[in-house]
Amino acid sequence: MKFGKKLALLLAVILTVSVLGACNTNSGNTGTAPTETQSTQTPAANEEAASNADLTKPSPEVESVVDHEGEPITLTVYSQLANYAGEQIGWGADVLLEKFNVKFNIIPESDGTFATRMESGDLGDIVIFGDNGGGYQDAAAAGMLFNWEEDGLLDDYGAYIKENFELPLEQNRSLTGTVYGYGHNVAFNPRDHEAFFYYPHLRWDLYDKIGRPEVNTLEDFVPVLEQMVALEPTDDNGSKTYGVSLFPDWDGTMVMMVKSTGALYGWDEFGLGLYNVETQEYQGALEEGGMYLRALKFYNTLFQKGLLDPDSMTQTFDDMSKKYASGAAMFNIFEWMASSYNTPAHKEAGKVMQPIAAKDQKNLVYGVTIFGGNRVWTIGSKTAYPELCMEIINWMSTPEGVLTVFYGPKGVTWDLDENGDPMLTELGLAAQLDKENTSITYAGNTGTYKNGEYQHNNTNMSVDAVNPDSPSGYTFNYRFWPSTNLRQTVTPVEQAWRDYTGKLSADEYLIDGGHMSVAIGSAYAQNKRDTELETTWTQVGTCIKDGSWSAIYAPTDAEFDAIVAKMISDAKSYGYDACDEWSRNEAARRKVAEDDVKAMIAE
C-alpha cells in the first residue's frame, strides 16, 4: 500500500495519540554539518518519493496583504529557541524586507521571559515554542494564540500549509482542540531519517599522529584526549587547549551537554531522564548505573585531568563556539561544532575534526516525522498583522522558503539547475563550508553569511525531507545533492580519514559501522503537567542541574560521589519520585505511538 493511501489511517491515529513531544534535543542550533563528497542516503527518486511528492499541491494565488510602498513593519518574533536578541540583520533581513516589507525583532527566551510576556497579555506577533507541552498549552488556554482557522486566515494566507501539511495541522489540533500552528521539521516519508546530528568528533590529524589508539567505549576517549592535548597544548590564538569545552545556555532540568552525551548510545532526552530509542525503555536521570550519571562522571574525569575547559559552567554559547573554531577543544558530540573548526584554511593546513566512534556506540539519529516535531510555529493573538504573519510562515513552509532559510537568497547562494533541482552556487557552497568568512552581497548590502542567518532558530520542513519540488526526488540537504558532490575538493588530511575508515562520509561511516539508533518520528506529544507537579518539576530540575555542575567540578572521586549522593537525596526530598513516575508513564505512551508508526511502515 502506498503511503499516500494511508492518510485516513494516520489522521485516525492523531485523534488518539499526539505528535512527538519534548524528546527532540536538536534544539540548539541550525548549523550545517561538514560537507561530504558522496551521499549515503539514496535520492528518493523511487516509488515512495513519487508517492510523497503526490501529497503536495501548488499553493493557489491569493491577494497579498504586503504593502511594499509603505514604511517597513517591524514584527516581534518571540522564539524560545533563539540565541540572539535584537533586529534580524544581513541577507536574511534583506530577503524579508524585499518580499514582505518587514523587519524581525527577535526576543529570545531567558529566565522569566515567558511568564512576563504572558502577564503582559501579548506574546508577540510570530511566536515559536521550544516544545508543545505546558507553556504552549498554557498560552493556548489563556487565549494568547491566534486561531489559524478563524476569519479565513489559513485558507487565504496559509494556502500552501493547508494543502500540504494536513497531518501536522491535525496533530496540532489534537493538543488543544484548535489549530494554532504546526510543529517543526515536517517530512512526507516516515521511513526516512535525518542526517546524523550527534556523534563524537576528534581532531583527526592529532589522533593520527598519536597512533590511532583503539577506542572501545566512552571512557577510552579520556587517555586519547590526554595525548592529543599534550601534542598540541595551544590553539590558533595561543590559548591553552582542552579535551572539551561546555556551556550552560541550553540547560533545562539536566545539564544539556551531559544528557546529550547519552545520544552516543541511543539515549534521547525525555522527561526527567532519558529514553532508549531502540529498546524503548525509560531511565531516570538519577538512576544508579544509568547513562546520565555515567556521562556526568566522564566529564568529571576530564576535569580532574585538566582536560575540561574551566570556563565551561560560566561561559556563553558564543564563547564556547569561538573556542571550538580556534581549536581550543578537541572532542565534541555535535556535527555543527566540528563544522565550525573545519574551515578551508584549517583543512589546507592539515587540520580537521572527523568522526571517530567508540566500538560500542549506537548514535542517536532522528527519524523524520510526517506529523511535525515539537517546536511549534504560532501567531500571537494580539498581533495587528495576523495575515502578514501567516504569509511569512506560509512562504517559509514552501520549498523556496525552506531553501532560502537553509541556504540564503535564491539566485545568489542557490538556484535551480536545468532539471529544476536545487543546487548551490559557488558562493553558496563556499558559505556552507565557511560561514564566518564568506561575504554575501544582496540587495546592495554586504555582510558575512553567518550574520545573515535567520536568528529565530526554527525550521519548517526537515532538511532531510524529500523536496516536493525536486524532479529527481532529492532532499533539502545540500550535502547529498550530486551537484555538490561533483564540485567538492578533498584535502590530503580528509583523504587520510577516508583511507583509514574506508568510508566517504560521516553518515556512511556511522551507518555501515553499526553506530546508529533511529528515533521513530511518531504522533506522541507529552501531556501537560498539573500546577503542583510543575512546581515540583522546577525544584527537582534546578537541584539536578546545579548538583550536576558541582559534580563536574569535583576535584576527587570521593567528592564527586558525595556530591552526587547529596544531589540524589535532595532531589528526592523535593519530589523526584513523582517526576520519575510521570516520565515513565509518558514513556509508555511514546512507545505505543512509535509502535503504531512501525506497524504502518511494515504494511
The CATH number of the domain holding residue 147 is 3.40.190.10
What's the domain range around 457? 67-188+370-462
What is the band of 133 on the pLDDT scale with cuts at 50, 70, 90? confident
What backbone torsions phi and psi does residue 308 show, to the nearest 5 degrees?
-110, 130
In a domain, 29, yes or no: no
Residue 85 has pLDDT above 90, yes or no: yes
Is 296 within a domain?
A: yes
Residues 577, 508 share a domain: yes
Q: Residue 414: what are its φ and ψ, rounded to 5°? A: -150, 160
Q: What is the pLDDT of residue 32?
A: 32
Do residues 545 and 423 share a domain? no
Residue 509, SS3 per DSSP: helix
Q: Are residues 156 and 236 in the same domain?
A: no
pLDDT for 311 equals 98
Cell numbers for 386 = 495576523
SS (H, E, C) 163-214: HHCHHHHHHHHHHHCCCCEEECCECCCCCCECCCCEEEEEEHHHHHHCCCCC
Q: Look at 100-104, 438-442, 596-600 and tell me which has the smallest mean pLDDT.
A: 596-600
In this structure, are residues 309 and 323 in contact, taking their beta carbons and an 8 Å threshold? yes
Q: How many other C-beta atoms can be found within 10 angstroms of the C-beta atom of residue 121?
A: 12
What is the band of 29 on the pLDDT scale with cuts at 50, 70, 90?
very low
Question: What does the alpha-carbon distance between residue 201 and residue 506 come to, in Å, rounded to a whole number?
Answer: 10
Q: Above 60 in pLDDT, residue 179?
A: yes
Per the domain annotation, does 339 fall within a domain? yes
Q: How far apart are CA 108 and CA 301, in angstroms?
A: 34
**Model confidence band, residue 20 (pLDDT cutoffs 50, 70, 90):** very low
Lowest mean pLDDT of 32-36, 245-249, 427-431, name the range. Answer: 32-36
Q: How far apart are CA 86 and CA 72, in angstroms?
A: 16
For 248: left if phi > 0, alpha if psi spans -120 to 50, otherwise beta; the answer is: alpha
Provide the pLDDT for residue 601. 79
pLDDT of residue 12: 52
pLDDT tens-digit series, residues 336-351? 888 889 998 999 999 9
Could you tell me the three cell numbers for 190?
A: 516516515
Taking a C-beta distance cutoff of 8 angstroms, is the pair 355, 199 a contact?
Answer: yes
- Other Cβ atoms less than 10 A from the Cβ of 452: the count is 25
- All three cell numbers of 454, joined, read 535567520
Cα–Cα distance, 195 to 200 (Å, whole number): 14
DSSP class of residue 415 equals: E
Residue 96 backbone phi and psi in degrees, to 5: -65, -40
What's the structural domain count of the chain?
2
In this prediction, residue 17 has a pLDDT band, given cuts at 50, 70 and 90, of: very low
Q: d(Cα 337, Cα 512) in Å, to the nearest integer? A: 23
Are residues 511 and 550 located together in one domain of the fold? yes
Task: Supply the mean pLDDT for the chain.
Answer: 90
Please indicate, yes or no, whether residues 177 and 229 belong to a single structural domain of this protein. Answer: no
Looking at the structure, do residues 123 and 211 belong to the same domain, yes or no? no
Is the same domain home to 516 and 585?
Answer: yes
Distances (CA, A) of 59 to 73, 102, 160, 162, 472: 25, 22, 5, 9, 21
331 DSSP β-pair partners: 202
* Residue 295 confidence (pLDDT) above 60: yes
Residue 245 has pLDDT above 70, yes or no: yes
State which of 443, 462, 481 marks the end of a domain.
Answer: 462
| Assigned domain for 512 exists | yes
One domain for residues 529 and 569: yes
The C-alpha atoms of residue 273 and residue 305 are separated, in whole angstroms, by 28
